[in-house]
Amino acid sequence: MSADRLEELIALMARLPGLGPRSARRAVLHLIKKRGQLMAPLAQALAEVAASARDCVVCGNVGTQDRCEICADPRRATGEICVVEDVADLWAMERAGVFKGRYHVLGGTLSALDAVGPEDLRIPQLIARLGEEEVTEVILALGATLDGQTTGHYIADEIAAAGVAVSSLAQGVPVGGELDYLDDGTITAALKARKRL
Ligand SMILES: [Zn+2]
C-alpha cells in the first residue's frame, strides 16, 4: 500500500462531520490496528450501504427501498405528517418514539441569502401528498432560526389553502437542525404541546 492511498483515506475521513484532520488520522490508525475486527467489517458495511442506499420517493428519508420502512408501514398512516428539515431530525423524532404518523423531509430551509427557493426543497412534493394521501394534520418541526421560521410560514400558507390543519412544535425549545441534540422527553413535550397555526 502506498503512503498516498493512506493519505487519501485520511483526507476522506477528515471530511466527515465532527472529524478534523487530526482525529481522522487517529481514526485511520485505529482502523489499521483493528483491521480484522473493525476495518474489514466496516469496509463491507460501507460498500453494501453505498450500493443499496436511496432516498424514499415519498418522504425523503434514507433507506434501502424506494419506500422507506415508515412509509411502507400501514400502521403509520394516521393522517399526520411531520415536516422536518433533515433526515437527522426525522431520526431524532423516531428515537423519541412519540410520533406515530409519517414524515416529510424538506432537505433544508428557504434562504434568501443562499438563493434557496421552494422548488429547491421538497415543498412541491409535500403539497402533492396532501392531494394523494388522507392528511388531517401537518406538524412543522422546523428550526427556530429565521430561515426555519420563514420556511414554516411559507408552508403554513400553502397548506391552509389546501384546507389541512397545520401545527408547529412548541416554541421555546430549539428545534430543527438541533432536534438531534434534544433528549427524548423534550421532543415528546414539544410534540404534545404543539400549537395550531
Ligand atoms: Zn418514506
SS3 string, 47-81, reads HHHHHHCEECCCCCCEECCCCCHHHHCHHHCCCEE
Give the β-pairing of 102-105 and 80-84. parallel
For 194, half-sphere exposure in the C-beta direction (CA atoms, 13 angstrom radius) is 22
At residue 192, φ and ψ (nearest 5 deg) are -65, -30
Q: How far does residue 2's CA lie from ligand 1's centre (Å)?
A: 42
- Do 87 and 151 lie in one domain? The reply is yes
Q: Is 146 helix (H, G, I), strand (E, B) or coil?
A: helix
CATH of residue 40's domain is: 1.10.8
Q: How far does residue 172's CA lie from ligand 1's centre (Å)?
A: 29
Least confident segment among 28-42, 55-69, 75-89, 165-179 = 165-179
Residue 174 has pLDDT above 60, yes or no: no
Q: How far does residue 30's CA lie from ligand 1's centre (Å)?
A: 36
Closest CA to 151 of 143, 160, 163, 159: 143
Q: Work out the average pLDDT over 185-191.
A: 85
Q: Work out the average pLDDT over 15-24.
A: 93
CATH of residue 153's domain is: 3.40.1360.10
For residue range 55-107, list pLDDT tens digits in order: 999 999 999 999 999 999 999 989 999 999 999 999 999 999 999 999 999 99
Q: Identify the residue with better confidence: 62 or 190.
A: 62
Task: Cite the DSSP H helix spans in the chain.
Answer: 3-13, 21-33, 40-52, 69-72, 87-96, 123-132, 146-161, 184-192
- Is residue 156 assigned to a domain? yes
Q: How far does residue 148's CA lie from ligand 1's centre (Å)?
A: 22
Q: What is the pLDDT of residue 144?
A: 81
What is the domain range of residue 31? 3-52
Tell me, what DSSP letter sits at residue 170? Answer: P
Highest mean pLDDT among 6-15, 141-150, 163-172: 6-15
Q: How far does residue 138's CA lie from ligand 1's centre (Å)?
A: 15
Percentage of residues in the chain having pLDDT higher than 70? 95
- Structural domain count, the chain: 2
Which pTM does this prediction carry? Answer: 0.83
Give the β-pairing of 137-141 and 80-84. parallel
Q: What is the pLDDT of residue 171?
A: 63
Q: What is the pLDDT of residue 67?
A: 95
Q: How far does residue 98's CA lie from ligand 1's centre (Å)?
A: 17
- Is residue 176 assigned to a domain? no
Residue with cell 415536516: 83
Q: How far does residue 68's CA lie from ligand 1's centre (Å)?
A: 4
- Is residue 145 assigned to a domain? yes
